[in-house]
Amino acid sequence: MQKIKFSLVYRDMWQSAGKYVPRVDQLTAIAPEIVKMGCFDRVETNGGGFEQINLLFGENPNKAVREWTKPLKEAGITCHMLDRSLNGIRMQPVPADVRKLMYKVKKSQGVDVVRIFCGMNDPRNIIDSVKYAKDAGMKAQAALSITFSEVHTVDYYIDLANKVIDGGADEICLKDMAGIGRPVWLGKIVAGIKDKHPGIPIQYHSHSGPGFAMASILEVARAGAEYIDVGMEPLSWGTGHVDVLAVQAMLKDAGYDVPEVDMKAYMKVRSMNQDFMEDFLGYFITPTNRQMNSLLISSGLPGGMMGSLMSDLEKNLADLNRWLEKNDKPLLNEDKLLVKLFQEVEYIWPKVGYPPLVTPFSQYVKNLAVINVTQMVKGGERWEIIPDNIWDMLTGKLGRLPGKLAPEIEELAKKEGKEFFTGNPQELYPDKLDDFRKEMDDNGWEYGEDDEELFQLAMHPEQYRNYKSGKAKKDFEKDLEKRRREGAGLYQKVKTVTEEPPAKEAAELQPGTMTVDVDGEKYRVTVSYDAHSGSGKDQSSRGEASPAGQNPAEQGKLAEVTSPLSGNFYLTRELSEKPVKVGDQVKEGDVLGYIEAMKTYNTIRSDQSGRIAEIARENGSEVFEDDVLFRLEQ
């Protein structure tokens, strides 16, 4: 009887649901209860997104990882993490010396298995990480980023597996991040790998959104996969993962040797996760993330990215409707914008070379779709704005694309003066640890146990600085208080309604939860109000005031440099960059700063020569489209 082991992808459960993860006190409280469930051989404890998010709400990720993994390891559960190869555990490329340090730090913090994927499926990026991880004493699991297209065939994936196994990978993971792998097709991939490498363990990871996942799990098990990733309520299904109860019952019925689930412990863990959401996490979870959607089959957007997409969509919609209202045009609702985005992703994906839609490239393709849709709704053209990170993807600086670029993209690259790179991407990102050591020394900061604090600064410079200064915690608390005040999110206090609310009040009502007792059994239900929608109009002015009838650009003969889109304004994006300052002379084409929007950076260049008379926005501040960033004196 074939034995199947389960891995609880706890990190990904939260990332696929919303923006944040539990605090360290919550993680250490729930760990013993997860152990009591008795069914998990592995738990995904940290990795991509997890530690950056710790920093965002002012918590030390090193403390979180050490304390979270300790009770799991003591119980014999293997802790594993997610690694984005060239990008480490962030969204942008990482110097090799920082990548090497990461594995040493994570091993010392209690993580034994690292799941390494490249969003391009470029074996060079994966194999470098395999070597670094094994040198640090970790087990290296190479992930094949699964997507479905004319270039992503069964033979393509078997060939990729052969290359990374030859490069030293100890295990293989089929990372079906969008859940769009067809079941029989996935079974053929697993069988093909097992035929050539029978001793290599295979783990299958899927999301339930499009609806294939349960059938896919059965097929890969039949083909020889040993490990299955699972989630659990109240964070399973939807954009998340299949629930362990359903998978266990299905595989048990099919004759597999699967562990039993302690239901008392399951219900305890389920209840604790619910408590975490009601504490603060639910304010960052969009209700639609609980839904399955077969439109995802064609767009191929992954579950983890869908969590961030639905979080971003609220802001994108508000920005777009602000412009539409200003120009006396009909407003869009969320459903219409979402369908437009799905259709645009489906259209542009082949044109940008079929990058597997996984972090960060799923975000890049999604962001490009958002920008295209926004520009076209406003009467502009497709491809008017392409952020720097996306150009890096298109020109080979992040790895080799699986497919070919459309002629129109190649022509645009030529017009923009972009050069294509064919070497190993790591060559473009030289070692930087000495620079970060100097910054630690200059600030009097401790390197931490096993250099773990140095690692966090080097991996997440801006977030770590904000964490150390206390800015991160203040910003998080301000955001959380705003959401609580506005009633945002899914898991809120119950609102008592005795009759249908008046139309003018309906827009203020948000979904809530209540507990219902039925024959002694308590059920938690979500209550939403489908009354008349509000106007969607933003009554507050986000722009800058100017005297009536006078164009700000004409005041004092100062030229204005404005933001091309909404996001966060930064003067620099790398430690080595020197920020511009008031009084600097700049030439046409000089870099003035950056707008970070949806995790991609857009360079702001001067369109003329002059002297910087004013920097109109604070570094790191939120800006809206057309906000003034700089004023130049000619």
Q: Is 246 in a helix, a strand, or coil?
A: helix
Q: For residues 47 and 89, is the Cβ–Cβ distance under 8 A?
A: yes
Coil vs helix vs strand at 184 = helix
**Cβ atoms 34, 8 nearer than 8 A:** yes
Stretches in the chain below the pLDDT threshold 50: 491-555
pLDDT at 595: 86
Report the distance separating Cα 109 and Cα 68, nearest Å.
10
At the topology level, CATH places domain 5-283 in TIM Barrel (3.20.20)
Sheet with 610-615, edge to edge strand ranges: 558-562, 628-633, 610-615, 585-586
Query: Each residue of 175-211: b (16+ CB within 10 Å) or e?
Result: bbbbbbbebebbbbbbbbbbeebeebbbbbbbbbbbe
- The arrangement of secondary structure in 552-633, i.e. its CATH architecture, is Beta Barrel (2.40)
| Counts of helices then strands in the chain (DSSP H, E) | 22, 18
Global model pTM greater than 0.75? yes
Q: What is the pLDDT at residue 301?
A: 59
Cα 273 off chain centre by: 20
> Which of 211, 95, 44, 4 has the alpha carbon at shortest distance from 454?
95
CA–CA separation, 598 and 630 (whole Å)? 22
Q: Give residue-wise pLDDT tens across range 458-480.
A: 999 989 999 999 999 999 999 89
Is 559 in contact with 634 (CB distance < 8 Å)?
yes
Q: Determine the pLDDT at residue 286.
A: 78
Beta strands in 57-170 (DSSP E): 78-83, 113-116, 139-145
Q: List the chain domain ranges.
A: 5-283, 296-428, 492-540, 552-633
pLDDT at 598: 63
d(CA 334, CA 64): 36
pLDDT for the residue numbered 320: 79
Among 181, 167, 166, 269, which residue's Cα sits nearest to residue 225? Answer: 181
The pLDDT, as a whole number, for residue 80 is: 97
DSSP state for residue 533 in the 8-state scheme: -
CA 370 – CA 351 distance, rounded (Å): 16
